[in-house]
Amino acid sequence: MTNKEFIEMLSRKTSFETSDVKELSATLIDIMLHNVAEGDSVTIQGFGSFEVREKARRKIYNPTSKNYMVVPPKKTLGYKMSAALKERLNME
């Protein structure tokens, strides 16, 4: 599902105009990005939570050059699905 399809579906399920849904969707994403960038987690009930995780510094080996390199620590975004979503996905 593309962003455009999502916005159109949300617009049909609610009584909001497509332009309003698009603006609300963009605002929601901006708020989530701001909170995650600050290091806070974002939880959406029934869907899951997004949180910043830190990968440790590590050594890697390049077999072509036969050298070891150090990869600096970095931050990644982690997602953990809610129990309700997990149950819904695993229904038979």
Question: What's the CA gap between 33 and 57, in Å, rounded?
Answer: 25
Q: Percent of the chain at pLDDT above 90?
A: 93
- The 10s digit of each residue's pLDDT in 42-63 is 999 999 999 999 999 999 999 9
Q: Are 25 and 4 in contact (CB under 8 A)?
A: no
The residue-averaged pLDDT of 36-46 equals 93
Reading phi first (left if > 0) and then psi (alpha if -120 to 50, else beta), residue 14 is in beta
Distance (Å, rounded) from C-alpha 1 to C-alpha 62?
Answer: 39
Level-2 CATH architecture, domain 47-92: Irregular (4.10)
Per the document, the length of the chain is: 92
